[in-house]
A = this chain, B = another copy of it.
Amino acid sequence: MIKVGIIGATGYGGRELIRLLGLHPEAGLVKVTSTSAAGQPLGAVLPAFDGLTDLSLEPFEPAVLAQECDVVCIGVPGTESMPLAAALREAGARVIDIGPDFRLKDPESFKQYYGVDHAAPQYLESAVYGLPAFYRRQLENASLVAVPGCYPIGAILPLRPVLEDVNPQVPVIIDAISGISGAGRSTSEALHFPEMNENVWAYKVGRHQHIPEIEQELCHPTPIQFTPHVGPYTRGILSTITFRPEAEVDLNACYAAYEAEPFIRLRGEGVLPELKHVRGTNFCDIGWVNDTRTGNIIIVSAIDNLMGGTAGMAIQCMNLMFGIEETAGLGFGGMSV
Interface residues of A (CB under 8 A from B): 12, 15, 18-19, 22-23, 25, 46-52, 171, 173, 175, 177, 179-181, 185, 187-189, 191-203, 205-206, 223-225, 227, 229, 231-236, 238, 240, 242, 244, 262, 265, 267, 272-281, 283, 285, 289, 291, 293-294, 296, 298, 300, 302, 306, 331-337
Contacts and interface: CB of A to CB of B under 8 A. Distances in A.
Given A177-B200, A196-B193, A200-B274, A337 B235 contact: yes
Contacts of A233: 197-200, 231-232
Contact of A238 (B51, B187, B202, B274): B202
Given A48-B334, A187-B189, A267-B47, A198 B223 contact: no
A6 to B, nearest CB: 13
Give the copy number: 4
Contact of A201 (B238, B279, B294, B296): B238
- 5 interchain residue pairs of minimum CB distance: A48-B334, A206-B291, A175-B175, A194-B337, A48-B336
A223 B293 contact: yes
Contacts of A294: 171, 206, 223-225
B289 A205 contact: yes
Given A49-B333, A225-B242, 7 more contacts: A19-B335, A180-B194, A200-B274, A200-B302, A223-B293, A224-B294, A227-B298
A224 to B, nearest CB: 7
A187 B195 CA distance: 10
Contact of A193 (B18, B46, B234, B242): B234
Contact of A332 (B22, B200, B229, B296): B22
A51 B296 contact: no
A275 B180 CA distance: 15
Contacts of A48: 276-279, 281, 333-336
A169 to B, nearest CB: 12
A51 B197 contact: no
A229 B48 CA distance: 20
Contacts of A281: 48
9 contacts: A19-B332, A46-B333, A51-B262, A173-B296, A175-B175, A193-B196, A194-B234, A195-B337, A198-B198
| A195, A235, A333 interface centre (most CB from chain B within 10 Å) | A333
A234 to B, nearest CB: 5
Contacts of A238: 200-202, 229
Contacts of A175: 175, 240, 242
